[in-house]
Structure 1
Amino acid sequence: MIKFRRIRVALAIRQTGSAAGAAERLHLSQPSVTEAIGRLEAELDTPLFERSSKGMRPTPEGEVFCARSAEAFEILTETAGQCAKGTQLSPVWPRQVNELHLRTVIALSRTGRFNLAAQSLNMAAAAVHRAAREMETLSGLSLWRRTPYGVALTPVGEAVSRASALTLRGLELAREAMMEKKGVFDGQLRIGVLPLARAIWAPTAIADIISAYPSARIKVTDGSYAELRHGLIDGEVDMVIGALRPEKDTTDIVQYPLFSDPLSIIARSGHPLAGRRTVTPELLRTLTWALPRPDTPARQMFDAFFARHNLSAPRETVECGSLAALRGLLSLTDIVTPLSPRQVSFELEAGSLVVIGAPLDGTERTIGMAERKHFRPTQLYNAFKAALVRAA
């Protein structure tokens, strides 16, 4: 990670138009400013400013880097202002913190212990303690409290941790967007995938990106919707794809529906009902079921299907959200499960699994992608979204 001090120097030069103006604004000597911007350009291997007798103005790459970096730091500034409301605190600490301060808050939020935070940061525990104390001193905020098991972040601490993670991610994306301006697409896509997207939809889009952008890096994270939504808000992933949920709180998330997908009854090829084109709801109630968790759209749609036919939903013999486990159960038993055929397309093509009857009426789920509100995608992200649309 680039030193914050050097980025702040670049932003000051962009604002003032000269090294002398930046030095005055930041209360530094002009040689210090000149050295800092030189080191930053060397680190990025990119000239950020054009020098002339009239001063310094950003190159196209420099403008992209500075604009996105300013947006990243603004996340901290806005959080500081919100935390300072109703207090005598001055929300200027975002201009004083460094990368270690932010990473310390994030690590404590995720581990709850100083020693574990130190391990995750590959640092001595004493250094983490010192950074934590400095962060509280600079901000004037109570960020955590002691517990019998370690430390827990206060609500203010959680807000600062989230802002810290989004700021660091924003600075990473600033560099990636700048490199794209040079024609280098070596950025990282951080994608959260829900069950329906894992089998073929996401892999197809990822394969397209790898083919078009061989230098791109892709980090795929799976989990429940609640886990991935939390990761999306905290900057651990930048996009979640799969079955969308009704969002009561739309302050953080924006969703983009792409298609609808109904549930079908999936079973092993040797199941007694294999080959049946029609099955009644009454017959379905007599089968042995593996069902998803009650809080998932698939389960809610499944239960609603029987309610529309004035029947109680069948009781699950197995509650399972793991597609790998379901494949094993279906192959070894006469258990059936409600799934999208997309999730087991390879097994259906191979003939090891079959669809019983027609898709369940009224079980269409909205499938698409979710992003953080105000997330500004790079060209690589836009290419991935286009690949998702093609693969839908």
Structure 2
Amino acid sequence: MLNARIKLRHIQAFLEVARQRSFARAAERMSITQPGVSKTIRELEEITDASLFERTPRGVSLTEAGLTLLRHAGPALRALEEGVGALGEEHAGSWLRVGALSTVESRLLPEAILRWQASMEGESGVSVVTGPSAFLLSRLRRGELDLVVGRMTEAREILDLSFEHLFYQRLVLVVRSGHPLADKAHLEPHQLMGFPWVLPPPQTTLRQRVDSFFVRHGLELPTSQLETLSLPLGRYYVQGSDAVWVAPEEAACGAVDAGVLAELALPLEERGGSVGLCINTSLAPSLALETFCETLRGVASGIP
């Protein structure tokens, strides 16, 4: 039975500190003072008889007890918000919050959204949040997203979330048309080292694949790099330079077919990683979410 001393403000403050990893930033986001946030968290720790946060050089981190509470508090608050929202007619219609990895931004997700909205009766909307898998999966676990779509099976953060495979997708090495390496039928890895590279940022699942490529071939990371998950930035940068772009196959195929970019004759990986959808099974799925997941499956079935 829930302790009657635990109030909604305790849960809201706890989730915001967990999200921001900082009492000061949480206070700013909640428009209250930092002492007020600290007092609220201290009250919650006294009520639960557990230490929820510990200080680190970079702010605060969740303790084991804090992680346990996080797994339940986020979805519970989200369920409450949905219940209150369902009472008002102004909330009629369907709205989804989708986390999107760069591996699905160019084809799978846009096509699925178009099909889903065309099939829905009444108002429908989709809010898309992009970023690394760790960031998106943590928001899904807290109930702040309805699902996450992309290549993420290598992510440690999946844990107790439910992943469904849709198809495999490779990372490819891409350069501009006319690049010195573009027309070479055979390439050795060391031949790429004299050029800048566009890479996924460190601590991402895609970067793990790139780092494995360099280790496998005994190479050091290039001295000139652009680290980004932004597909438009990567594409524009590589089209205007001699850079080598590590790109999701989906993001590059259109420009390669049009002759604007060229895929190098050197595979970064053979099979690729599993692209799919991830949901939080601790939350009951809405009809809109179930319909959208089925739409994703339909679009994915047409991707070779």
TM-score range (shorter-chain normalised) is 0.7 to 0.9
Change in Cα spacing, 1:233 to 1:264, as seen in structure 2 (3 Å) is: same
Give, in whole Å, the separation in 1 of the partners of 2:103 and 2:36: 44
Q: Deviations over 1:111-135 (max 9, x none)?
A: 4665643442345667656644553
Change in Cα spacing, 1:390 to 1:167, as seen in structure 2 (3 Å) is: same
Within the candidate set 229, 243, 246, 2:137 is matched to: 229
Corresponding residue number in structure 2 for 1:266: 174
1:197 and 2:91 are equivalent in the alignment: no
* Matched position secondary structure for 1:256: strand
Q: Do the aligned partners of 1:244 and 1:257 also contact (CA within 8 Å) in 2?
A: no
Corresponding residue number in structure 2 for 1:9: none
Amino acid at match of 1:165: G
Change in Cα spacing, 1:217 to 1:99, as seen in structure 2 (3 Å) is: farther
Change in Cα spacing, 1:155 to 1:305, as seen in structure 2 (3 Å) is: closer
Where in structure 2 are there 5+ consecutive unaligned residues? none
Amino acid at match of 1:104: A
Change in Cα spacing, 1:313 to 1:259, as seen in structure 2 (3 Å) is: farther
Instruction: State the shift of 1:385 in Å.
Output: 1.1
* Matched position secondary structure for 1:235: coil
Give, in whole Å, the separation in 1 of the partners of 2:57 and 2:232: 38
The one of the two structures with greater contact order (alpha-carbon pairs below 8 A, sep at least 6) is 2
1:212 and 2:144 are equivalent in the alignment: no
When Rg is computed on C-alpha atoms for both structures, the one with the higher figure is 1
1:135 and 2:44 are equivalent in the alignment: yes
1:164 and 2:42 are equivalent in the alignment: no
Change in Cα spacing, 1:265 to 1:108, as seen in structure 2 (3 Å) is: closer
Where in structure 1 are there 5+ consecutive unaligned residues? 1-76, 78-91
Q: State the TM-score, normalizing by the size of structure 2.
A: 0.76
Give, in whole Å, the separation in 2 of the partners of 1:351 and 1:279: 19
Corresponding residue number in structure 2 for 1:318: 225
Amino acid at match of 2:78: R
Corresponding residue number in structure 1 for 2:272: 364
Instruction: State the shift of 1:103 in Å.
Output: 0.7
Corresponding residue number in structure 2 for 1:72: none
Change in Cα spacing, 1:186 to 1:354, as seen in structure 2 (3 Å) is: same
Within the candidate set 262, 268, 273, 1:354 is matched to: 262
Give, in whole Å, the separation in 2 of the partners of 1:227 and 1:346: 28
Give, in whole Å, the separation in 2 of the partners of 1:132 and 1:299: 36
Q: State the TM-score, normalizing by the size of structure 1.
A: 0.61
How do residues 224-303 of structure 1 correspond to structure 2 at under 5 angstroms?
A: 224-246=132-154, 251-275=159-183, 278-281=185-188, 284-285=191-192, 288-290=195-197, 291-293=199-201, 296-301=204-209
Give, in whole Å, the separation in 1 of the partners of 2:164 and 2:296: 11
Give, in whole Å, the separation in 1 of the partners of 2:56 and 2:110: 43
